[in-house]
């Protein structure tokens, strides 16, 4: 089933609330027993947690969660149901992609809550997309375990089948971008005055919404089509999108990005895009212990000392000490642990952020980054200069 305003909502008669015990089993042998809801089946993936307190429809449809079992630390989830999808020029206004992307959901308590304008409730929504979930476990203990021991693989399964599980999928070894990128070019807002090309690894629709609001024609081009397909759009600017999985598997895509960096076209990298640009310039990327996933994480702007609350969803970070390109310098760092959260180039119109400036759900502190990108596009089109500091 695909999201869209022409689709009939799932029948409320199809609500699945299992009377069977379910287990979340982790690869280190830890287990948490609760009750199943959503789809009645087992599912494996990398177990990660988010501290987001709202916006679960956006979280579940975020392509960066592909291949993962999501633990929501907020204790009560589902209280406002799932909204009716709103589509504008092919861009979803209230979801981040056309499908649920996670492999499983873990919550302390799921409610069958509905608003007057709800499409369905959370359990029905998960069942419609064949995604299992578990409730009734101590998510505080689970999050604490993941913080101490780090992200690990796991499986949600009926309790009577969990004992037979002997193999684990290795999240780090699979290229999940192949499951989230479009198969061909997609154009949004075709009447826009100039084109921004999105190198699409699994772009969040929030990024597309922001670009459309700025009046751009948007051409989403998967990396499988090659550099020439993207440049044939004659873009005024390029956005290298977010996406799921291990960036160290994307050697061909890093080569693609390296070619784009030589084109003198303004480039904005977001999340995975930030990592790929940095890798193309010689940085290495390493796995974080348990990642940054939440909508209230503070970053510091190194150019002017500004502090901002931002939305994050990443399990990897760049190692800047390995960068041989002196013009590529840190822009933002996380106040929590010093992780580099953005970079600027002093010689070329290139910028990147590890967090999500489009912010849905989350704070709006850094939406000015898109305006900065627009000014760079305008300046580059008129003369070979561009702004380098602050807003």
Q: How confident is the model at residue 18 (pLDDT cuts 50, 70, 90)?
A: low
Judgement on whether residues 168 and 181 belong to the same structural domain of the protein: no
Contacts of residue 264, Cβ cutoff 8 Å, sequence gap at least 6: 348, 349, 380, 384
Judgement on whether residues 164 and 259 belong to the same structural domain of the protein: no
Per the structure, the complete domain to which residue 298 belongs is given by 177-382
Distance CA 286, CA 277 (A): 15
31 found inside a domain: yes
Judgement on whether residues 91 and 157 belong to the same structural domain of the protein: yes
Q: How confident is the model at residue 389 (pLDDT cuts 50, 70, 90)?
A: very low
Judgement on whether residues 158 and 191 belong to the same structural domain of the protein: no
Average pLDDT, the chain: 90
Residues 303-354 pLDDT 10s = 999 999 999 999 999 997 766 667 899 999 999 999 999 999 999 999 999 9
Judgement on whether residues 372 and 360 belong to the same structural domain of the protein: yes
Locus of tokens 């999105």: 198
CATH code (residue 204): 3.40.50.880
Residues labelled catalytic: 271, 356, 358
Judgement on whether residues 199 and 267 belong to the same structural domain of the protein: yes
Judgement on whether residues 155 and 222 belong to the same structural domain of the protein: no
Judgement on whether residues 192 and 129 belong to the same structural domain of the protein: no
CATH code (residue 140): 3.50.30.20
User: Last residue of some domain: 142, 173, 204?
Assistant: 173
Judgement on whether residues 107 and 81 belong to the same structural domain of the protein: yes
Judgement on whether residues 181 and 205 belong to the same structural domain of the protein: yes
Whole-angstrom CA distances from 131 to 40, 91, 154 are 8, 23, 15
User: Last residue of some domain: 153, 173, 193?
Assistant: 173
Judgement on whether residues 83 and 212 belong to the same structural domain of the protein: no
Domain count, the chain: 2
Over pLDDT 90: what percentage of the chain? 81
Bond from prior residue into 361 cis (ω within 30 degrees of 0): yes
Judgement on whether residues 159 and 181 belong to the same structural domain of the protein: no
The answer, yes or no, to whether residue 3 has pLDDT greater than 70, is no
For 221-253, give the DSSP string. E-GGG-HHHHHTT--SEEEEPP--S-GGG-HHH
């Amino acid at each position: 089933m695909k999201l869209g305003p022409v689709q009939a909502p799932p029948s409320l008669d199809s609500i699945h609330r299992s009377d069977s015990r379910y287990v979340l089993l982790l690869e280190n042998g830890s287990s948490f027993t609760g009750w199943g809801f959503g789809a009645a089946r087992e599912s494996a993936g990398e177990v990660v947690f988010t501290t987001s307190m709202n916006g679960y429809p956006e979280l579940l449809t975020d392509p960066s969660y592909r291949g993962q079992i999501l633990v929501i630390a907020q204790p009560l989830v589902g209280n406002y149901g799932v909204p009716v999808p709103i589509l504008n020029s092919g861009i979803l206004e209230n979801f981040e992609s056309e499908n649920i992307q996670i492999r499983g959901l873990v919550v302390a308590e799921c409610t069958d809550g509905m608003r007057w304008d709800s499409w369905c409730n959370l359990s029905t929504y998960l069942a419609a997309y064949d995604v299992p979930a578990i409730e009734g476990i101590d998510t505080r203990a689970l999050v604490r375990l993941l913080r101490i021991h780090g992200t690990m693989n796991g499986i949600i399964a009926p309790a009577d089948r969990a004992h037979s599980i002997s193999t684990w999928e290795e999240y780090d070894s699979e290229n999940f971008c192949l499951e989230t990128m479009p198969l061909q070019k997609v154009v949004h807002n075709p009447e826009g005055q100039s084109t921004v090309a999105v190198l699409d690894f699994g772009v969040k629709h929030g990024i597309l919404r922001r670009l459309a609001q700025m009046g751009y024609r948007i051409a989403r081009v998967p990396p499988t089509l090659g550099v020439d397909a993207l440049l044939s759009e004659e873009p005024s600017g390029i956005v290298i999108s977010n996406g799921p999985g291990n960036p160290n598997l994307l050697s061909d895509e890093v080569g693609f990005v390296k070619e784009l960096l030589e084109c003198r076209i303004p480039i904005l990298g977001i999340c995975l895009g930030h990592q790929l640009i940095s890798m193309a310039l010689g940085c290495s990327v390493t796995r974080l212990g348990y990642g940054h996933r939440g909508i209230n994480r503070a970053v510091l702007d190194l150019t002017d000392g500004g502090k901002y609350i931002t939305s994050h969803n990443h399990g990897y970070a760049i190692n800047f000490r390995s960068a041989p390109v002196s013009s590529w310098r840190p822009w933002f760092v996380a106040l929590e642990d010093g992780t580099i959260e953005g970079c600027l180039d002093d010689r070329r119109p290139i910028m990147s952020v590890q967090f999500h400036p489009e912010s849905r759900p989350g704070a709006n502190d850094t939406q000015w980054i898109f305006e900065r990108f627009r000014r760079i596009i305008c300046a580059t089109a008129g003369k070979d200069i561009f702004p380098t500091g602050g807003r």
